[in-house]
Amino acid sequence: MEPRLMKKSIEDYTKMMRGRYARCTGKAARSVLLDEYCENTGFERKYAIKVLRQQRRKSGRKARGATPRYRPEDLKILKEVWFCAGQPWGKRLSRTMLKTCMKSWQRRWRAPQKLCQML
């Protein structure tokens, strides 16, 4: 097995290769540069492409997905309403059924008015 570059050396080599890779036009020229880079660093080809294009994922990224729709205190109330309604599944837990359950739950437990308005 051939010796690989040290981490600091790989960073310096990557900076140099990014410039060369960006200036290259054509698939054949980039392929030759990519082969050279993979051979010297020991990286897989697809990962090397991402490194040279600077498309690697950053470790300090925000979480993916949609932002939460309800606050934690609202979720607590909704969960109680869901239990009182008999834990219906998604199709049965329509907006109208949830509103009806919420109104009766609000009268009984004096839940916040604005939660009912959210629905």
Q: Give CA–CA dist 105/109, Å, rounded.
A: 6
Torsion of Cα atoms, 75 then 77 then 79 then 85, to 10°: -140
Whether the predicted model's global pTM rises above the 0.85 cut: no
* Residues counted in the chain: 119
Per-residue pLDDT tens digits for 70-117: 888 888 877 877 777 777 776 666 667 767 766 776 776 665 555 555
Domain ranges of the chain: 7-52, 72-118
* Rg, C-alpha atoms of the chain: 28
Give yes or no for residue 43 having a pLDDT over 80: yes
The answer to whether the CB of 102 falls within 8 A of the CB of 116 is yes
Residue 26 backbone zone (phi > 0: left; psi -120 to 50: alpha; other: beta): left
